């Protein structure tokens, strides 16, 4: 049974930093591309960042480029999202997602491309 468990969310002041983690189990992690999405109250879920199964390819939404960094540790079955210079508009529930892929350097931006989802972790940025 595949499980994705996010952690590291919380309350932080604007300008601060948080590091989210997503621990995966029940799958061969190195075969899966990973992504982070977020959903703010009253809004649709949106793409944040993604990383290929090898870690060699990454992408991020324009709204977070230069502030958020996605990375992974295949030995620990974990993907991370380092969030710096946080803004109140970053407040949302953050979800990690996984999909298997045969292409080493490919990452995915669309929700429908992902097979598995975590339950989410709340990030609140105060002004």
What is the distance between the alpha carbons of residues 13 and 5, in angstroms, rounded to a whole number? Answer: 24
Give residue-wise pLDDT tens across range 79-101.
999 999 999 999 999 999 999 98
For the record, the structure tokens of 64 come out as 């977070």
**Contact yes or no for 97/51 (Cβ under 8 A):** no
Q: What is the mean pLDDT of the chain?
A: 97
What is the distance between the alpha carbons of residues 12 and 1, in angstroms, rounded to a whole number? Answer: 33
């Amino acid at each position: 049974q595949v499980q994705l468990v996010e952690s590291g969310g919380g309350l932080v002041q604007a300008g601060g930093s948080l590091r989210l983690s997503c621990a995966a189990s029940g799958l061969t992690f190195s075969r899966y591309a990973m992504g982070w999405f977020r959903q703010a109250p009253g809004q649709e879920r949106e793409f944040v960042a993604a990383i290929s199964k090898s870690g060699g390819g990454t992408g991020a939404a324009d709204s977070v480029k230069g502030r958020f960094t996605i990375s992974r540790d295949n030995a620990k079955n974990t993907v991370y999202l380092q969030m710096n210079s946080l803004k109140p508009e970053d407040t949302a529930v953050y979800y990690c997602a996984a999909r298997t892929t045969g292409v080493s350097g490919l990452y995915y931006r669309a929700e429908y491309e992902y097979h598995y989802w975590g339950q989410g972790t709340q990030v609140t940025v105060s002004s």
